[in-house]
A and B are shown apart, each in its own frame.
Chain A
Amino acid sequence: MKKLIITSVVTLALAASLNAAPVSFDFKDPKGVNALQFSLDSVLEPIAGTAGGVSGTVSFDPANPAATSGKIVVATKSLVVPNATMTEHMLGNNWLDAAANPEIAFQLSKLEGVSTAGNVTSATATGKFTLRGVTKDIKVPVKLTHLADAFGKRINKPEVKGDLLVLRGEFMIQRGDFGIQPGKNDDKVNPEIKISIAIVGSAPKA
């Protein structure tokens, strides 16, 4: 009897640990919703735009969110603003030089100050942010929302199992720090750029 109880407890513990294994979430969204948003003050009105070419993977364990790792990549040429001429200038070699720097990336090094309430984990993400070929360490306050078994519902196929991970965050950068017209045109285009992310990763279960 005692042997049976021990075996059962060990089996349950093993099953729980397997269930809590990190899951890899793919941030190339099948619905095309994922985008990075950016805005900066300028003459006449703020310049605001989006970048839809988001990809990358994040490994997340709901039982141990502090162990989260991953990388998010944005295709530079996917950046757009409502004015076509401004978009052309922004991607040109005087500003982002999209041809020579095809990717904007954030490589997560670690999560700090992790706290979880329900399915929402708040933390500060420390990592390496690369823009226009320049990489700098930055800290980003983030919220990770784990939506268990929501993948099928989102693609209108409830029979398909899988989880979603929503990643939200907002941070500021100085464009001059990344070699984008440092010290130039500050009276026309603010040196500070606000970047917001609200993206979802999918982890379908086979």
Chain B
Amino acid sequence: MRRIPQTIALGLFVATIGFWAVKGAHTGWSQNRVPRSKTDEVTGIVYTVYENRYVPGIDLLAGGVGLAGALLAVSFLLRPKNKTDQPT
């Protein structure tokens, strides 16, 4: 019984860290739009444009890892597989 939630927890842990790392390992809050600076040639004004893409931040990382940890903890409350059921 424990094996299934433990496998899911491990998968969630690896997926969360992998997704966060691949998407830029951003150490701030998650972003739904990414700011980029541009310069207006004639006036010299530096202005911001936004790219509409998602960058996961520490909040997503903490949520995913926390959920995986909680799932792992719950798994230890479940009854382990009965060894007497196994053929001798």
Where the two chains meet, the residues of A that have a C-beta atom closer than 8 Å to any C-beta of B are 31, 33-35, 37, 44-45, 48, 50, 80, 82-84, 86, 145, 147, 150, 153-154, 164, 166, 198-200
* Chain A hits for B29, CB < 8 A: 44-45, 82-83, 86
Q: Does B80 contact A (CB under 8 A)?
A: no
**B33 to A82, Cβ gap below 8 A?**
yes
* Chain A hits for B45, CB < 8 A: 33, 166, 198-200
Q: Does B44 contact A (CB under 8 A)?
A: yes
**B31 to A31, Cβ gap below 8 A?**
no
Q: A86-B29, A153-B42, A154-B42 are in contact. Are A198 and B35 (CB under 8 A)?
A: no
B2 to chain A: closest CB distance in Å? 35
**A84 to B48, Cβ gap below 8 A?**
no
* Chain A hits for B34, CB < 8 A: 82
Report the interface size class on chain B. 20 to 34
**A83 to B31, Cβ gap below 8 A?**
yes
User: What is the bound-complex CA distance between A166 and B46, given in angstroms?
Assistant: 12
User: What is the bound-complex CA distance between A86 and B33, given in angstroms?
Assistant: 12
Of B27, B31, B58, the contact of A82 (CB 8 Å cutoff): B31
Q: Does B32 contact A (CB under 8 A)?
A: yes
User: What is the bound-complex CA distance between A166 and B41, given in angstroms?
Assistant: 13
**A82 to B47, Cβ gap below 8 A?**
no
Of A45, A80, A86, A198, the contact of B47 (CB 8 Å cutoff): A198
